[in-house]
Amino acid sequence: MKNIWVIANWKSNKTIAEALDWISKVGPQIPKADNLKVVVCPAFNALSEVKKAIEVGGFPLMLGAQDLSPFGLGAYTGEEPAELLSSFVDLAILGHSERRKNFGETDEIIAKKVEQTLANKIIPLVCVQGEETPVPEGCKLVAYEPIFAIGSGNSDTPENVNRMANLFKQRIDSDLKIIYGGSVNSGNVKSFITQEAISGVLVGNASLDAQEFIKICRTV
């Protein structure tokens, strides 16, 4: 049975108190299954407390960062290096379209970030926006996120997502795992994860609400 990823991208939301409330509601409700990988990606403020809450609760939840530095340790004011994050997170979202658009991230910067994750045992999840987006060397998990579908309520069709996933597999590696992101919710998640080439979902807005996220995990 294939592994299915359900990844919550909270973006710039949730205080520590709100984050802990979500963990206390969602943690106990996640179905325990070896092939279900549920990851929560809070903002940096809450990583440490969320990690503790997951450990104390013994919840089947992995922790992710929404980004990290393209550099190692050193004089890089404001950056979060993989070497420091690796004691908290299992995964990092890289190359999200919001970072490309608002922070000028280029494919070269994203490739450097992937190198940093791989050197520090963090799984890189690289977001691609279309057929031409490059997938850096060593990246085995990719999120296909067409820009029109993000936060719009207008998701791509499952058939097109499956087609895109197969294109990436053919172009890069048949073992590449492709997940889908863009207006995923409890009502449409099944249509995506039942496609043969799709290995999960990256969920923004709908992940903020604990009950909605629990429904998504149960459906998956």
Catalytic residue numbers read 96, 145
Name residues whose C-beta falls within 8 Å of residue 78's C-beta, 6 or more positions apart in sequence: none
* Least distance to ligand PGA, CB of residue 34, Å: 25
The verdict on 145 binding ligand PGA (CB under 6 A) reads yes
Q: Which residue has the tokens 């509601």?
A: 25
Alpha-carbon gap, residue 114 to 126, rounded angstroms? 8
Of 65, 5, 63, the C-alpha closest to 33 is 5
The verdict on 64 binding ligand PGA (CB under 6 A) reads no
* Least distance to ligand PGA, CB of residue 41, Å: 9
Alpha-carbon gap, residue 197 to 162, rounded angstroms? 6
* Least distance to ligand PGA, CB of residue 128, Å: 12
H or E segment and range at residue 21: helix 16-26
Contact pick of 202, 214, 216, 217 for ligand PGA (by CB under 6 A): 202
* Least distance to ligand PGA, CB of residue 184, Å: 5
**Residue with Cβ nearer ligand PGA (83 or 212):** 212
**Residue with Cβ nearer ligand PGA (53 or 149):** 149
**Residue with Cβ nearer ligand PGA (133 or 205):** 205
Contact 107, 135 (CB under 8 A): no
Contact 93, 128 (CB under 8 A): no
Contact pick of 17, 151, 171, 211 for ligand PGA (by CB under 6 A): 151
Q: Which residue has the tokens 């999840």?
A: 125
* Least distance to ligand PGA, CB of residue 65, Å: 14
The verdict on 105 binding ligand PGA (CB under 6 A) reads no
Q: Which one-letter amino acid corresponds to residue 76?
A: Y
Contact pick of 38, 46, 85, 184 for ligand PGA (by CB under 6 A): 184
| Cα angle value 160/62/170 (rounded, 5°) | 30
Q: Strand 198-203 and strand 177-181: pairing?
A: parallel
The verdict on 203 binding ligand PGA (CB under 6 A) reads yes
Cβ-proximal residue to ligand PGA, closest one: 204
The verdict on 182 binding ligand PGA (CB under 6 A) reads yes
Q: Which residue has the tokens 């579908």?
A: 149
Q: Which residues bind ligand PGA (CB under 6 A)?
A: 9, 145, 150-151, 181-184, 202-206
